[in-house]
A and B are shown apart, each in its own frame.
Chain A
């Protein structure tokens, strides 16, 4: 028993120490940002993100990239944060603001994607988990007290709702892990083939959003919002998966 308590104590202490260390690193990075040392702030935020990410960390990282003139990476950071907190008004405002600096329009999204992105992946999962648990509990109670629950209509409705939310959650999950969108992180030539010597297809500007069609070695097959297709170096794009 004493050993168990000791383990819990050591674990709690190490957790507290790690949290404290993270807070200090975050504070240092914020100070660097405030003193306009954006490149160093980016480095600090990125170091911290190896321990885990939070909406505020990604938000600050996006701000730092923007201030450092890296529009594509800023948009990528904001999009990562939006995946975790899709209704965060500050995030939306900053993303909107930076997006307007990009001369090309973003890749359009479908109505279903708009609907899915009203909630974060965890919110969809929690709602589905709650509804399905409720459904199973009601079904269980019905086995014990069949005479008390005679109206099966509501049972079917609750089951159907839980199923619909399950589908939404699966869709949201696939949307969360979707790596089909990327932001260009520097002005670069997009080639017509997956080699450096291929002729130019179009010129991609920093911050331009691209739709990813496939991969070949160190090159990605991309499509712009205008429908132009080409191959771009992997190092010149930032993906949006947190």
Chain B
């Protein structure tokens, strides 16, 4: 028992140790973030430094930056576990308030810890003039909107990140409606949330981002941006006085006020792409890109496919990237397959992968030619060419027909081969007989089909019923006898009527005796042969036959016996006998 407990303790300790080692192995880094990258003069913006998986040996501090007022706003700790990762984060928060317009660079901050020195990345904060329209209406105390294009000058096809900041005290909002004639806009990703202080008011800030790509040159306008907002305004705010209800404030009521807020349009100067130095194979890509390409296999037979995989990545309108025409001489090429992947929510950065299949048609081909893609770099303001290859290719003579198989055809190898032999140069001519014209619906949809198809089924079902009935009869001798007796009785009655009409008394009574014996034999479940009126006295008395019918039965038996000695009855007597017989049969049933 002790041994077992010791083993368990060792395993537990090993597990904890493994966890600790694993924890120490997680990435340690320092990350700096700004709530918003653009603010107005006098407006506070949150700046935070997150220390992931390490403990700073002293509090990080920001250097003094001219034009920026920096104040400490506390710290917090968080712990995340999931996705195979464990992140312990200690966050130091600061509030930055700009007092002049411009772009401020917050340098990387070095943070010392026992495990080394970690440095944050530098960040840029753009400070714009406070929008005077913010203060024009009373509504702006509760909500206002700001439209911020990150740049005001761009080339045609160059993506311009756009920020729409909604400042809202309390309320609900719809998605912004941005007018952008002459621009292509990307979809809004999930808005970022932060808080901002302006004067004595604290706002919830929602930052919507999009990328606008100009499609024409000239002085264009982006905006205005409009937004439907439902403000939640405290009803008692305006009426508060020292003499009001002492419970006022406990039962605060809000009034929903729907308003439409708007930010004015911004000017963007869009320059046309220069014509000087434009490469012939330029097809409209604007941005900064890189390329990798590979071809495989590099040793093939004539007619075998070679796949060229081209991966383009970078910043720009990834969606608009397209491959130049790779229709090289000596190769048959097909439409490329394309796969795009955006690596940022705005879709400005991403990867596009092209997979092009080419088929060498001659064994004299020695290489896959160089692949060149041209683009315009708006930062360098010049065209650039990316290239990969050429790739050495070894093409061996074909061992089979180099024609691409038409896989969707119904197989008809002999006719196909014949076709190839004949080198068909024209389609086979039209037919001059129309043939049976009908609706192209399968026969299975016609009622006639089901009618015909039901015949063998009905035959089978009928035969099955017949067989079941026959088997049931074979297994039940009493039922079989009953049916036999009923059949014989029907025939005998017909015969008796006939005999009565002809007044054949002797034959009539012989037949009558047979019928009576069979009926009584069936009733008493005894053999019919040898039954007489006397022999059944005891047995028939026990059965619940009415006395009147019983009397008639005896009388009929006596008549039969008497007839064998003196057969002299009239037709009327015989008919009466028949009526009595029917009554007796009914009673016996």
Contact = CB atoms under 8 A, between A and B. Distances in A.
Given A125-B444, A136-B456, A136-B459, A203 B437 contact: no
Contacts, number: 184
A60 interface: yes
Interface in B408-461: 408-412, 415-416, 419, 424, 426-440, 442-444, 449, 452-453, 455-457, 459-460
A93 B437 CA distance: 23
Interface stretch (B251-259, B329-337, B509-517, B575-583): B329-337
A90 B443 CA distance: 24
Highest count of chain A CB atoms <10 Å: which of B335, B407, B432, B433: B335
A165 interface: no
Q: Interface majority SS on A: helix, strand, loop or mixed?
A: helix
Interface residues of B, number: 55
A143 B449 contact: no
A39 interface: no
Contacts of B322: 200
A103 B334 contact: yes
Nearest to B438: A52
A155 interface: no
A171 interface: no
Interface string B556-588: 000000000000000000000000000000000
Given A125-B449, A173-B442, A242-B440, A118 B411 contact: yes
Interface stretch (A4-12, A105-113, A213-221, A231-239): A105-113
Contacts of B438: 52-54
B463 A140 contact: yes
B338 A93 contact: no
A228 B437 contact: no
Interface residues of A, number: 83
A129 B453 contact: yes
Nearest to B336: A226
Contacts of A133: 453, 455-456
A132 interface: yes
A16 to B, nearest CB: 13
Interface in A82-103: 82-84, 86-87, 89-90, 92-100, 103
B338 A99 contact: no
Contacts of B433: 56
Contacts of B81: none
A202 interface: yes
Interface in B10-61: none
B355 interface: yes
A33 B457 CA distance: 50
Contact of B460 (A60, A100, A126, A137): A137
A117 interface: yes
B419 A199 contact: no
Contacts of A94: 427-428
A54 B434 contact: yes
Nearest to B428: A90
A206 interface: no
A37 interface: no
Nearest to B408: A106
Interface in B300-342: 319-320, 322, 333-338
A93 B466 contact: no
A132 B453 contact: yes
Contacts of B432: 27, 30
8 cross-chain pairs, A with B, having the tightest CB-CB distances, nearest first: A242-B440, A143-B463, A136-B456, A226-B337, A56-B431, A54-B435, A140-B463, A143-B467
21 contacts: A22-B434, A30-B432, A57-B434, A60-B430, A60-B431, A66-B427, A84-B440, A92-B409, A92-B419, A95-B406, A96-B406, A108-B407, A109-B408, A136-B456, A139-B463, A140-B459, A140-B463, A202-B336, A224-B337, A227-B337, A228-B335
Interface of B: 319-320, 322, 333-338, 355, 357, 403-404, 406-412, 415-416, 419, 424, 426-440, 442-444, 449, 452-453, 455-457, 459-460, 462-464, 466-467
